[in-house]
């Protein structure tokens, strides 16, 4: 039973709102609420590689999480929906 509970907790992961602490070399700022987060990346971060890493790590969330990701100093956002 303990093994089953442990597996279930990984399957239904909650999205961490401490992203800046987890990726301090890549993220300048994270802001938002339970509906969506805005993630501002440092200028030299590969946005596609960052998105792929986030998708892999948080692919089976309990609740859908929407991220708007952009580089610092730029206006264009990329939308990432994690489910």
| Domain layout of the chain by residue ranges | 2-82
Say what the pLDDT of residue 43 is: 94
* Global pTM value: 0.77
Find the distance separating the first CA and the last CA of the chain, reported in whole Å: 26
Say what the pLDDT of residue 33 is: 79
Say what the pLDDT of residue 14 is: 59
In this prediction, the residues of the chain whose per-residue pLDDT falls under 70 are: 1-17
Say what the pLDDT of residue 5 is: 35
Tell me the HSE value of 35 on the side-chain side, using a 13 A CA sphere: 0
- The per-residue pLDDT for range 32-42, each reduced to its tens digit, is 877 788 999 99
Token pair in block for residue 60: 């089976």
């Amino acid at each position: 039973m303990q093994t089953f509970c442990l597996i279930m907790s990984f399957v239904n992961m909650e999205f961490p709102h401490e992203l800046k602490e987890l990726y301090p070399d890549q993220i300048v700022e994270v802001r938002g609420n339970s509906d969506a987060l805005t993630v501002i990346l440092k200028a030299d971060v590969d946005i596609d590689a960052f998105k792929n890493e986030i998708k892999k790590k948080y692919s089976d969330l309990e609740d859908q999480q929407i991220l708007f990701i952009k580089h610092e100093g730029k206006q264009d956002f990329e939308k990432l929906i994690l489910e």
